[in-house]
Structure 1
Amino acid sequence: MNNLTTNFTVDKKNNIVKVKRAFAAPRDNVWAAWTEPELLDQWWAPKPWKSETKSMDFSAGGQRLYAMVGPEGEKHWSRVDYTSITPKTNIKLRDGFCDSKGNINQDLPQSDWNIEFSESDGLTIVEVEIKHETLADLEQILEMGFQEGFTATLEELDQILTAKK
């Protein structure tokens, strides 16, 4: 484990969460971890939960349908709609909760993600900006444990990337 930490900030005025994390790994490896379903499923859930991708088309206009699977086998479904992809530098997507067929749950918040990948001093830096439609949506996601869960998943990704060296 290295000493890199996750910088998590909340901008309630603009309904935005910003997350910045550096990884001691090549950008190609970090990009693959965010874009290949078999790698995403290794880290995209805080333990003891796990991620299971049902389908994924990583292309602009494509989507990922996946479940967060709990220790008792319970499943919480989500859908990611990829809106823009610039290879190895940027992913833009719309994220929302859904059913197992990908039908969005309108009772839960959706958000727009902008994920930037860059390299500096031998590190790959990932900067995530998550925009919510309303302050109430942002606060609901935070109350659901998003900060703790996403921070834990990024730590899991760090461990996987470190082990890959």
Structure 2
Amino acid sequence: MPITSVTKDTDDLTMTVVAEFPVPVRRLWDAYADPRQLERFWGPVEWPATFTRHDMARGGESHYYMTGPDGEKSAGYWRFLSVYEGRSFEVEDGFASSPGVPNPDMPTMRMVFTFESTDTGSRVTTRTVFNSVDELEQLVAQGMEEGMTSAIGQMDEVLADLATFASGSGTTTQLLDDTHVRVSRVIRGSREQVWRAHQEPELMRRWLLGPDGWVMSTCEIAHEVGGTYHYAWEPEGGGEGGFGFTGELLESEEPYRSVTTERMVGMDGDGTLNEMTLTPVEDGTLLSILITYPSRELRDQVLATGMTDGMEASYARLEQQVLVPA
């Protein structure tokens, strides 16, 4: 068991959990930074978590829900109060009535996660600060200590799995539920570089091409919230078969998050909501896109087109042609 101590202090209104692992600090930090890894241990064994948002930056938010053995769901959220990469982060932690919507009937807490090296690897100390003795006792009585012990007990297996989450593993697609898909890839480049590659037309025209033999004929980027973007592609040298997408920029938090709508030009019906998050990790930048579809049918239609392969071709081109060292 990686947990070395659990301490409750009713004077300071805190519960402190210390756990040690035989891995470097960076590996341990990335397990919390990457939602694909975090959801494999943030929740007791019987209540696995699903993260629908995870912005590990000051002012960012995380939304998640845990699913019980009978299918019941319990939602929660984090609001990041501080992030010191590789060293610590602090969040407001609370219950939610649905992902991202705080439940006012339940208490909130502050949680401080501190990472440090040890002679045999690394240590994470999780210090939870409660608002009152009553709230501390209420949450402990509801099984908070047992839940954290069960959750952290799953981390050894996650930390040992390097291949699934490292750069070079390509673009992956996860079906979170009937209408939500998360696309992930580690890109060898800084967060600022990857953000810039999504903001400058001359750079986007070099990598956002899809299949070989196509060119980006239109690249109009929305830089202000409320603005409209328009991207279009056509066969190199001209000809028929071109297509395009348009949408609105709903949120933008440089350099880590943007939210847009997306609709194929000329198609009827509802489009998608695309939430892109950029997170520094050991091998570069983890790019995550949460796509919300209006229906399961449209989700399956889009995935059947080879969307993941097309995105991988573009991201590989981004690494090779835009982020290559000078």
TM-score, normalising length: structure 2: 0.48
Question: Deviations for 1:63-85, whole angstroms, at most 9, x for unmatched residues?
Answer: 00000111111110001001100
Higher relative contact order, structure no. (Cα contacts within 8 Å, ≥ 6 residues apart): 1
Q: Alignment partner of 1:99: what SS?
A: strand
Q: Alignment partner of 1:42: what SS?
A: coil
Identify the residue that residue 44 of structure 2 maps to in structure 1.
Answer: 46
CA distance in 1, matches of 2:99, 2:122: 35
Structure 1, gaps ≥5 residues long? none
Identify the residue that residue 28 of structure 1 maps to in structure 2.
Answer: 26
Identify the residue that residue 155 of structure 1 maps to in structure 2.
Answer: 153
Q: Alignment partner of 1:129: what SS?
A: strand
CA distance in 1, matches of 2:21, 2:65: 26
Larger Rg: 2
Contact preservation (8 Å) 1:78, 1:96: yes
Which range is displaced more, 85-94 or 155-164?
A: 155-164
Structure 2, gaps ≥5 residues long? 164-326
Contact preservation (8 Å) 1:6, 1:151: no
Identify the residue that residue 105 of structure 1 maps to in structure 2.
Answer: 103
CA distance in 2, matches of 1:4, 1:143: 23
In the TM superposition, what is the alpha-carbon distance from 1:5 to its structure 2 partner? 3.2
Structure 1 residues 48 and 120, CA, compared in 2 at 3 Å: closer, same or farther?
same
CA distance in 2, matches of 1:61, 1:163: 30
1:1-165 mapped onto 2 (5 Å cutoff): 4-164=2-162
Amino acid in structure 2 at the alignment position of 1:89: R
Stretches (4+) displaced over 4 A: none
Which range is displaced more, 100-109 or 17-26?
A: 100-109
Report how many aligned residue pairs link the two structures: 163
CA distance in 2, matches of 1:38, 1:136: 34
Amino acid in structure 1 at the alignment position of 2:71: G
TM-score, normalising length: structure 1: 0.93
In the TM superposition, what is the alpha-carbon distance from 1:110 to its structure 2 partner? 0.6
Structure 1 residues 47 and 88, CA, compared in 2 at 3 Å: closer, same or farther?
same
In the TM superposition, what is the alpha-carbon distance from 1:164 to its structure 2 partner? 4.3
Contact preservation (8 Å) 1:24, 1:162: no
Question: Deviations for 1:70-111, whole angstroms, at most 9, x for unmatched residues?
Answer: 111111000100110000000011000012242211221110
CA distance in 2, matches of 1:106, 1:137: 14
Contact preservation (8 Å) 2:3, 2:152: no
Identity rate of aligned residues, in percent? 27
